[in-house]
Amino acid sequence: MKKLFKLFKHEFKLVLPTTIFFFIAFILIATTQRLILREYHVPLTGYAAALIGALIVGKVVLIVDKLHFINKFPEHPLIYNITWKSTIYFFATLMFRYVEHLISFLRKHDNFVEANQHLWNEIIWPHFWLIQMWLAVLFFLYSTIRELIRVIGKEEILLMFFGMQGHSN
Compute, in degrees rounded to 10, the torsion defined by CA atoms 46, 106, 134, 21: 60
Check whether residue 161 and residue 87 sit in a common domain: yes
pLDDT tens by residue, 110-160: 788 888 898 889 888 888 888 889 889 999 999 999 999 999 998 998 899
29 in the same domain as 6: yes
More confident residue, 37 or 95: 95
Average pLDDT, the chain: 86
The reply to whether 55 and 121 lie within a common domain is: no
Q: Are residues 36 and 5 in the same domain?
A: yes
Length of the chain: 169
Q: Which residue from 7, 29, 27, 8 is spatially nearest to 19, judged by alpha carbons?
A: 27
pLDDT digits (tens, 9 = 90+) for 58-89: 888 888 888 888 888 888 999 999 999 999 99
- Same domain flag for 95 and 47: no
Whole-prediction pTM? 0.79
Residue 165 has pLDDT above 80, yes or no: no
Contact 87, 55 (CB under 8 A): no
Instruction: Please tell me the least confidently modeled range out of 7-16, 37-46, 72-81, 129-138.
Output: 37-46
For position 167, what pLDDT does the model report? 59
Q: Based on the domain organization, do 5 and 84 belong to the same domain?
A: no
Number of domains in the chain: 2
Name the residue among 114, 18, 119, 12 with its Cα closest to residue 60.
Answer: 18
- Burial grade of 122 (CB within 10 A; 0-12, 13-18, 19 or more): exposed
C-alpha to C-alpha distance for 141 and 55, rounded to whole angstroms: 18
**Same structural domain, 111 and 57:** no
Range of the domain at 82: 71-169
